C-alpha cells in the first residue's frame, strides 16, 4: 500500500495560510501579525534587517492583505519591496534577482475569488519547509512578537519594485533559446489571474499568433470558469479556432495543464512523460522523475521502457521538492500540473512548464495530437468512505487489508488508502488495466472499511 501522509499544522497548510479573505485566519490583523512573526524569525537567526519581496495575484482582497502584511514586516524592521501582481514563480525569480532574504506571495492559487492566502519563500526562492513554517507559527503566540518594536531609523521601509515583472518576463522568454522556432499558434488561458500581463509579454516576445483568454481580471473573476480548474473553457477555444494546443494556468500561475487540438486534457503525468525523455537526452534529468502517489501507473510503465526511474512521494509540491533533493532528481511534479524543472526554476512555474513542454515536443518530434492516446492511463476508481471524526484505522488493519488487495491485483495494479486532510473520509484509490478486477478490489476495500467502522 502506498501512503499519502503529511504533517499536520494548525495555521500553515500544505501551501501556506489560506482562508476566506477578511475572515478566520486571513484577516488584515492576522496578516500583520504573520508578517511580524516572519521577520522576527529571520532576525533571531542573524539577519538584523531582512529584505523581503512581496507579490500578489489579482484578487480584490490582495491590496488589503498586501498593506497589512508589509506593514507588519516593516513594523518588525524589514525592508519590503512590493512587486505588484506577479506569478508565484515570478516572486521566486525576484528573490534571487534582488538577492533578498525571502519573499511572500499573497494568493489563494486555484481557489475562488473570495479566498486568499499567504505563503513565504526562503532566500533561494523556494517554499519554506514544514519545520520552518512551524517555527514561524510558534512566534504567533509569543509575547516577544508584540513587545519587540524597533523605533526611529530601525523601523522598516516599503518600496515599489514593479519593474521585476518585465525582468521576469524577459528572462522567461530567453529560456526558449534561438535554435528551435517558436510555435506560431495556440491558446493561453490566464485564469484572470497573476499570469495575465506576464504571459502576454512572454508570448509577445517569442512571436506567433497566440490567442489569450481568461485575461480580463476584475478582482472578482479569478478562476471563475477558466484556468486549470475549468479545462472545458480552454478546450472549447482550441476547437473553435482549430488550433493545435492550449495552455492553462491557475490563479498564481505555478501550475499548467494543456489540451491537444481535439480539446483533450494533457495532465501532469503526460507532461512529465514528455519532459523526462527530453531532459534525459540532454543529461539534465538527474537520477529520475519524482511523482506523487496519485500519478498513474502508466507513467512508470512508459518511463521504465526508457530506463528512467520514478520516485513516489506524498501529495503536495513541497514533498515533491524534498524528494527531488533527496533522490538527486531534476524533474518532479503532480497530475495537477505543478511541475518543477529544477535545472531552470526553484518552484513550480506554469509558464516555464508550458514553454518547455512545447520545446520538448518539437525537439523530440512528438505529435501532440497523439499523446493522449499513446499514454493510455490505467483505469482508476476513487471512492470515499465516511468515518467518524475521532475514529482511527489501526495500522495493522490497513496493512493486512492492503496486502490482501495487492495479492488480488497480482502486480497488475495498485491501491492507495489515505485519510482526507479536510473531511472525515477515508479515500480509496484502485488502479488496474483490468476494469472488472479494479471494481472488484475497490468494492472489497470499501466494504471492509465500512465493516471496520461499525466496530469502532
Helical axes 196-206 vs 164-174, angle rounded to 10°: 40
pLDDT at 7: 40
Q: Are residues 295 and 153 part of one domain?
A: no
Report pLDDT digits (tens) over 146-200: 778 899 999 999 999 999 999 999 999 999 998 899 999 999 999 999 999 999 9
Residue pair 82/160 in contact by the 8 Å Cβ criterion: yes
| Among 375, 407, 428, residue at a domain's last position | 375
Which is nearest to 414 in space by CA: 313, 292, 296?
296
pLDDT at 5: 40
Quote the CA–CA distance of 167 and 17 in Å, as a whole number.
28
Sequence-separated (6 or more) residues with CB below 8 Å from residue 271 = 256, 258, 333, 337, 339, 353, 357
| Residue 6 domain flag | no
Question: Domain containing 306 — which CATH number?
Answer: 3.40.120.10
pLDDT at 422: 60
Q: Are residues 186 and 114 part of one domain?
A: no
Sequence-separated (6 or more) residues with CB below 8 Å from residue 99 = none
Q: Are residues 255 and 329 part of one domain?
A: yes
* Element containing residue 36 per DSSP (H, E): helix 28-43
pLDDT at 390: 60
Calculate the CA 320 to chain-centre distance.
10
Q: Are residues 269 and 199 part of one domain?
A: yes
| Residue 8 domain flag | no
pLDDT at 6: 40
pLDDT at 387: 81
Full domain range(s) for residue 129: 17-162
| Residue 298 domain flag | yes
| Among 132, 162, 192, residue at a domain's last position | 162
CA dihedral 352, 371, 248, 291 (to 10 degrees): -60
pLDDT at 450: 87
Q: Are residues 147 and 47 part of one domain?
A: yes
Known catalytic residues are 109
Grid coordinates in use for 416? Answer: 492507495
Question: Domain containing 425 — which CATH number?
Answer: 3.30.310.50
Residue pair 413/438 in contact by the 8 Å Cβ criterion: yes
| Residue 424 domain flag | yes
Which is nearest to 317 in space by CA: 284, 285, 287, 350?
350
Q: Are residues 441 and 409 part of one domain?
A: yes
Q: Are residues 72 and 25 part of one domain?
A: yes
Q: How many domains is the chain partitioned into structurally? A: 3
Quote the CA–CA distance of 274 and 268 in Å, as a whole number.
10
Helical axes 435-454 vs 395-409, angle rounded to 10°: 160
| Residue 391 domain flag | yes
β-pairing, 309-313 vs 339-341, is: unpaired
Grid coordinates in use for 270? Answer: 503526460
Quote the CA–CA distance of 253 and 351 in Å, as a whole number.
7
Calculate the CA 237 to chain-centre distance.
25
Q: Are residues 97 and 33 part of one domain?
A: yes
Residue pair 204/169 in contact by the 8 Å Cβ criterion: no
For the chain, what is the total number of helices (H) and then of strands (E)?
Answer: 15, 18
Sequence-separated (6 or more) residues with CB below 8 Å from residue 364 = 274, 277, 278, 281
Q: Are residues 322 and 174 part of one domain?
A: yes
Spell out, as residue ranges, where the chain has pLDDT lower than 70: 1-9, 144-145, 389-393, 421-422, 454-456
Give the count of beta carbons closer than 10 Å to the beta carbon of residue 224: 16
Q: Would you say the pTM of this structure is higher than 0.85?
A: yes
| Residue 122 domain flag | yes
pLDDT at 452: 81
* Element containing residue 52 per DSSP (H, E): strand 51-56
Sequence-separated (6 or more) residues with CB below 8 Å from residue 46 = none
| Residue 4 domain flag | no
Amino acid at each position: 500500500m502506498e501512503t499519502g501522509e503529511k504533517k499536520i499544522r494548525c495555521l500553515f497548510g500544505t501551501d501556506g495560510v489560506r482562508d476566506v479573505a477578511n475572515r478566520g485566519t486571513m484577516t488584515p490583523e492576522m496578516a500583520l501579525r504573520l508578517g511580524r512573526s516572519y521577520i522576527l524569525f529571520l532576525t533571531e537567526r542573524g539577519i538584523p534587517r531582512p529584505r523581503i519581496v512581496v507579490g500578489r495575484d489579482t484578487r480584490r482582497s490582495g491590496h488589503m492583505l498586501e498593506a497589512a502584511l508589509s506593514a507588519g514586516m516593516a513594523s518588525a524592521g524589514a525592508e519590503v519591496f512590493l512587486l505588484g501582481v506577479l506569478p508565484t514563480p515570478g516572486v521566486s525569480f525576484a528573490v534571487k534577482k534582488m538577492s533578498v532574504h525571502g519573499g511572500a506571495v499573497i494568493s489563494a492559487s486555484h481557489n475562488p475569488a473570495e479566498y486568499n492566502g499567504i505563503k513565504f519563500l526562503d532566500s533561494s526562492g523556494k517554499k519554506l519547509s514544514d519545520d520552518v513554517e512551524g517555527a514561524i507559527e510558534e512566534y504567533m503566540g509569543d509575547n516577544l512578537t508584540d513587545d519587540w518594536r524597533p523605533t526611529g531609523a530601525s523601523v522598516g521601509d516599503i518600496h515599489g519594485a514593479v519593474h521585476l515583472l518585465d525582468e521576469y518576463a524577459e528572462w522567461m522568454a530567453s529560456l526558449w533559446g534561438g535554435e528551435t522556432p517558436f510555435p506560431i499558434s495556440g491558446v493561453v488561458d490566464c485564469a484572470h489571474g497573476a499570469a495575465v500581463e506576464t504571459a502576454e509579454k512572454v508570448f509577445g516576445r517569442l512571436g506567433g499568433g497566440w490567442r489569450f483568454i481568461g485575461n480580463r481580471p476584475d478582482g472578482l473573476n479569478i478562476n471563475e470558469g477558466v484556468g486549470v480548474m475549468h479545462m472545458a473553457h480552454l478546450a472549447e477555444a482550441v476547437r473553435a479556432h482549430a488550433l493545435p494546443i492550449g495552455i492553462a494556468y491557475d490563479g498564481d500561475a505555478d501550475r499548467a495543464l494543456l489540451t491537444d487540438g481535439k480539446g483533450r486534457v494533457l495532465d501532469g503525468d503526460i507532461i512529465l512523460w514528455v519532459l523526462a525523455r527530453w531532459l534525459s537526452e540532454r543529461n539534465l534529468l538527474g537520477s529520475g522523475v519524482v511523482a506523487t502517489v496519485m500519478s498513474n501507473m502508466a507513467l512508470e510503465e512508459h518511463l521504465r521502457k526508457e530506463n528512467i526511474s520514478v520516485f513516489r512521494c506524498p501529495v503536495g509540491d513541497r514533498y515533491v521538492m524534498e524528494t527531488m533533493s533527496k533522490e538527486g532528481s531534476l524533474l518532479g511534479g503532480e497530475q495537477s500540473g505543478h511541475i518543477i524543472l529544477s535545472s531552470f526554476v526553484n518552484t513550480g512555474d506554469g509558464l516555464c512548464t508550458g514553454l518547455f513542454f512545447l520545446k520538448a515536443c518539437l525537439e523530440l518530434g512528438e505529435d501532440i495530437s497523439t499523446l493522449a492516446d499513446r499514454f493510455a492511463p490505467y483505469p482508476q476508481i476513487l471512492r470515499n468512505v465516511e468515518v467518524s471524526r475521532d475514529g482511527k484505522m489501526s495500522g495493522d488493519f490497513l496493512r493486512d487489508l492492503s496486502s490482501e488487495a495487492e495479492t488480488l491485483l497480482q502486480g497488475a495494479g495498485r491501491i492507495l488508502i489515505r485519510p482526507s486532510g479536510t473531511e472525515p473520509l477515508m479515500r480509496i484509490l484502485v488502479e488496474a488495466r483490468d476494469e472488472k478486477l479494479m471494481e472488484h478490489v475497490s468494492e472489497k476495500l470499501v466494504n471492509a472499511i465500512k465493516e471496520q467502522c461499525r466496530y469502532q
